[in-house]
Amino acid sequence: MHSRPYDSFVDNLEHLATIIDLPESNITLYNHFFNEPDSRKFMATLLDEIQWKQERISLYGKTYELPRLTAWYGERNKTYRYSGITVQSIPWIAVLEEIKSKIESVTKVKFNSVLLNRYRSGTDSVSWHSDDECQLGRHPVIGSVSFGQSRLFKLKHKSTKQRKHLELINGSYLLMKGATQENWLHAIPKSKCQGERVNLTFRIIK
């Protein structure tokens, strides 16, 4: 995974950036941020080394399994609450630190935690939500890396209902910041695809 000098990695990134031109948002998509061989290695390591969990949520007195596996890593003692689930961070491992340092080189912020999602097939999904928990502060910076199966990423404006669909491909990096979470919802709908996908959303927990 160290096949290219680090500086040339950073210099070659800007031409990959596509600004997603939507009102009241700040979204940039970098396709092929990670090349094919690196992406394949990262995917295999993440499937193998991450402590994947099947979380359950309670809704109106019933419990449901989340339709995906998840894991929460980061600096010591970072507790995160989302969808009624409370998780305690597992300390960073090398593969996560390597991915994190590469995205930090373009994002110019330091992330202190990451929520990982594992979509075992097209029947796994995430429903409409914003990454707007209080712990993320007013204008959260969310750095989202995808490996494996391409999946549709839907965006919907909270008041105008304007929609935008992006495809998140293997090795892509989606950066959401500014007022994006305040104004837009996002979701990964179920799909007919069979392949497995791993997504990492790096975050800054206050």
Give the pairing type, strands 151-157 and 163-168.
Answer: antiparallel
Part in contact with Mn ion (CB under 5 A); list of ranges 15-23, 65-73, 125-133, 162-170 = 125-133
Q: Which of 104, 131, 132, 182 binds Mn ion (CB under 5 A)?
A: 131
Please say which residue, 105 or 130, places its beta carbon nearer to ligand AKG: 130
Which region among 79-87, 131-139, 155-163, 190-198 touches Mn ion (by CB under 5 A)?
131-139
Rounded CA-CA distance 144/133 in Å is 16
State the burial class of residue 119 (Cβ atoms within 10 Å of its Cβ: 0-12, 13-18, 19+): buried
Site for ligand AKG in 175-204 (CB under 6 A): 186, 188, 199, 201
Query: In whole angstroms, how close is the CB of 159 to ligand AKG at the nearest point?
Result: 20
Among 71, 87, 126, 155, binds ligand AKG (CB under 6 A): 126
Min separation Cβ 197 and Mn ion, Å: 14
* Eight-state DSSP code of residue 31: T
Cβ closest to ligand AKG, residue 107 vs residue 117: 117
**By CB under 6 A, residue 114 contacts ligand AKG:** no
Strand order across the beta sheet in which 26-30 lies: 17-20, 26-30, 172-177, 142-148, 197-203, 113-119, 69-74
Which stretches of the chain are DSSP H helices?
6-11, 36-49, 94-107, 180-183
Does 168 contact ligand AKG by CB under 6 A?
Answer: yes
The Cα-based distances of 112 to 34, 42, 44, 201 in angstroms read: 21, 19, 23, 11
Q: Which does 149 bind (CB under 5 to 8 A by kind): Mn ion, ligand AKG, none?
A: none
Residues of this chain that bind ligand AKG (CB under 6 A): 115, 117, 126, 131, 144, 153, 168, 186, 188, 199, 201
Residues of this chain that bind Mn ion (CB under 5 A): 131
